[in-house]
Amino acid sequence: MNTPRRAMLLLAASIALPLRAQQGFDHSHGAWTALLKKHVVLLRNGQASQMRYAGMASDHAALKSYLDSLSAVSVSSFASFGKPQQMAFLINAYNAFTVELILTRYPKLDSIKDLGSLFSSPWKPKWVPLLGDKLSLDDIEHGRLRERGRYDDPRIHFAVNCASIGCPMLREEAFVAERLHAQLDEQALRFLSDRTRNRFADGKLELSKIFDWYGEDFRLGHRGITSLPAYLARFADALADAPADRERIKAQKADISFLDYDWKLNDAR
């Protein structure tokens, strides 16, 4: 084979490989959805959820197969994904590997924090085989999903689940690119409608600590929102019942305090 023709074939192959890898990955995350629909229990009309970890343990082979499919995605293939595909991939990976982490000690734990210690965090160890590297859960959430200039979408905080009662619910289906924005909007509404974790009471907004820890993410200009009060104003009807209270939230004049975070395992025992 002459050299120019050989070079052209090699170039075509180098282009085709990442395309084939992308086409080979199931962007519907169907295997993850099947597990979630089977083992996630919805609470309070869908405002919260719990996981049947015992049931998930019995389906561990299916979970491992899904995790393996995530781990098989190369850096170059991931780079070829559209941004919604990337976000859905990372959110689903965070949630699925968190479930896997819980199963490493289940049922002998009451909180994900039991997997850490006074001097270490369960989110810091680099054990997740993803994108050609060993990542920590923090790497996925803070190093990628929250990296400035990458996605700049505060709604990810309503999508990633830390296996705790205080955390926004684990969605009962996988996140998928073609419905990602609608799914994230619904997650936000569900969380902010849950009066056990966010509410207007005693003349002020009492919010989840998530808004304290990550308040800066709501000032990045997503959808024109440049402050936490401005973001919350969109959810006044979910946060309060009385018309006067709702108007106070919409006017961004409500004082804000933060509730204690419940780290108990979100287990449907």
Are the C-beta atoms of residues 80 and 131 closer than 8 Å to each other? no
The count of other CB atoms within 10 Å of the CB of residue 258 is 15
Is the pLDDT at 249 greater than 70? The verdict is yes
- What is the pLDDT at residue 2? 55
Is the pLDDT at 189 greater than 70? The verdict is yes
- What is the pLDDT at residue 51? 98
Token pair in block for residue 154: 């505060």
Nearest to 97 by CA among 78, 132, 125, 74: 125
Tell me whether residue 221 is exposed, middle or buried, using C-beta atoms within 10 angstroms of its C-beta: 0 to 12, 13 to 18, 19 or more: exposed
Q: φ and ψ at 16, to 5 degrees?
A: -70, -30
Name residue 44's amino acid: R
Q: How confident is the model at residue 225 (pLDDT cuts 50, 70, 90)?
A: confident
**Which helix (H) or strand (E) segment is 204 a member of?**
strand 204-207
Average pLDDT of the residues in 73-95: 98
Q: How confident is the model at residue 171 (pLDDT cuts 50, 70, 90)?
A: very high
Q: Where are the domains of the chain?
A: 27-195
Cα separation of 92 and 73, whole Å?
Answer: 13
Q: How confident is the model at residue 224 (pLDDT cuts 50, 70, 90)?
A: confident
Name residue 178's amino acid: E
Is the pLDDT at 98 greater than 90? The verdict is yes
Q: φ and ψ at 52, to 5 degrees?
A: -80, 85
Are the C-beta atoms of residues 236 and 9 closer than 8 Å to each other? no
Are the C-beta atoms of residues 70 and 92 closer than 8 Å to each other? yes
Are the C-beta atoms of residues 125 and 134 closer than 8 Å to each other? no
What whole-number percentage of the chain has pLDDT above 70?
91
Cα separation of 121 and 124, whole Å?
Answer: 5
Beta bridge partners of 205: 200, 256
Cα separation of 175 and 86, whole Å?
Answer: 11
